[in-house]
Amino acid sequence: MITTHSVTSADGTKIAYDRYVPTGGSRGTVILVGGAFSYRKFPKMVELAELLVRSYGLTVINHDRRGRGDSGDSPDRYDAAQEVDDLAALLAAEGGTAALFGWSSGAVLALRAAGSGRIPGISRVVAFEPPFVVDRTRHVPPPDLAATLHQLVAADRRSQTVRYFMTKAIGVPAPFVGLMRITPMWSKLTAVAGSTPHDWAVMAEYMKGRPLDPADWNGVRVPVLVLSGGRSDALLRTAAGAATAVLPDARHTEIPKLSHNPDVRLLAPPAGEFLTTHAAPTT
């Protein structure tokens, strides 16, 4: 069963979400935290939610992060703490205890929420390919990225925002982005272009080409499963190993045939098994 709801975050922003409930008793609750340009109706987020419900008996909360879909926004105010508050509001509305599944920048947000000390009900975290940039051997975003990104968003230059974020923040080659502009996906990307400063607020400190500081992650005291794909860029595979090394209770699984644009049928099993291990059944 799928029902749609909303919750109000600490700053008054409305956060919309879908609740997927399995038939029979639930084996626990997981909140999905999408990455850049993702939203709750994004097909792979929906597919992941459906698989975790159907195959693992989990209650799944699939939400629109602020600035996307049916959720509200906080224009000109971009702070990772706001999105931690959003997750706190979701978790409180759904019984006070839940795991988090984060994808890309959403994985970093999930880890930051778990380490914030402000949401004691987080039980565990799945972090799929957090895009940390821990050395300077590959793409490193420019230091003035935030200023340019904010200017583009303020001017509502959506296509340029998408192009700039993809090439400068993520490191996607410009010719590939150019090809994307003639696909049906482009309009979906431009629709959520204004949310990209929220992603950058989450990621900026951890994409500077320097090693992760264990002190930044000591607060993540819950079990963490870091997932990466064998077909993903080397930067992401390196980031997965670096994250695992600094988290107090983490293990890393690389899925050989997976990429950052994943086959959800390969992604769901290790996540579902981890999320239901020792999980207390609920009714």
- pLDDT of 207 above 60: yes
- pLDDT of 247 above 60: yes
Backbone φ, ψ for residue 21 (5° rounding): -120, 130
Whole-number percent of the chain with pLDDT over 90: 96
- pLDDT of 279 above 70: no
DSSP-derived secondary structure letter, 222: S
Q: Are residues 220 and 193 in the same domain?
A: no
Residue 204's CB is within 10 A of a number of other CB atoms, namely 17
User: Is residue 283 situated within a structural domain?
Assistant: no
Confidence grade of residue 277 (pLDDT, cut at 50, 70, 90): confident
Strand 98-103 relative to strand 224-229, pairing:
unpaired
User: Is residue 281 situated within a structural domain?
Assistant: no
Percent helix, percent strand, percent coil in the chain, to nearest 5: 40, 20, 40
Average pLDDT score over residue span 138-143: 95
Residue 156: what pLDDT?
A: 97
User: What sections of 19-79 are H helices per DSSP?
Assistant: 43-56
Closest to 91 in 3D by CA, of 71, 120, 67? 120
Q: Are residues 92 and 219 in the same domain?
A: yes
> What is the pTM for the complete model shown?
0.96
Q: Are residues 114 and 12 in the same domain?
A: yes
62-121 pLDDT, tens digit each: 999 999 999 999 998 999 999 999 999 999 999 999 999 999 999 999 999 999 999 999
Task: For residue 121, give Cα distances in angstroms to 97, 164, 206, 257.
Answer: 4, 37, 25, 33
User: Is residue 53 situated within a structural domain?
Assistant: yes
Q: Across the chain, which distance is largest between two alpha carbons, in Å?
A: 51
Average pLDDT score over residue span 234-238: 96
Q: Which amino acid is at 155?
A: A
Residue 283: what pLDDT?
A: 33
User: Is residue 35 situated within a structural domain?
Assistant: yes
Q: Strand pairing partners for 125? A: 100, 224
As for how many domains the chain has, the answer is 2
User: Is residue 76 situated within a structural domain?
Assistant: yes
- pLDDT of 155 above 60: yes
Q: Are residues 108 and 48 in the same domain?
A: yes
Listed in sequence order, the residues at least 6 apart from 34 whose beta carbon sits closer than 8 Å to its beta carbon are 40, 42, 45, 65, 103, 104, 106
Q: Are residues 41 and 74 in the same domain?
A: yes
Q: Are residues 187 and 215 in the same domain?
A: no
Average pLDDT, the chain: 96
Residue 281: what pLDDT?
A: 39
Q: Strand pairing partners for 250? A: 224
Q: Are residues 14 and 127 in the same domain?
A: yes
Q: Are residues 124 and 243 in the same domain?
A: yes
Range of the domain at 161: 145-201
Q: Are residues 80 and 106 in the same domain?
A: yes
Instruction: Give the domain-ending residue among 201, 230, 248.
Output: 201
Instruction: Give the domain-ending residue among 201, 223, 241.
Output: 201
Tokens of 222: 């819950």
Q: Are residues 9 and 92 in the same domain?
A: yes
The burial class, CB within 10 Å (0-12 / 13-18 / 19+), for 68 is: buried
User: Is residue 7 situated within a structural domain?
Assistant: yes
User: Is residue 282 situated within a structural domain?
Assistant: no
Q: Are residues 49 and 127 in the same domain?
A: yes
CATH number at residue 112: 3.40.50.1820
13-69 pLDDT, tens digit each: 999 999 999 998 899 999 999 999 999 999 999 999 999 999 999 999 999 999 999
User: Is residue 60 situated within a structural domain?
Assistant: yes
Residue 280: what pLDDT?
A: 41
Instruction: Give the domain-ending residue among 163, 183, 201.
Output: 201
Q: Are residues 103 and 178 in the same domain?
A: no
Average pLDDT score over residue span 221-247: 97
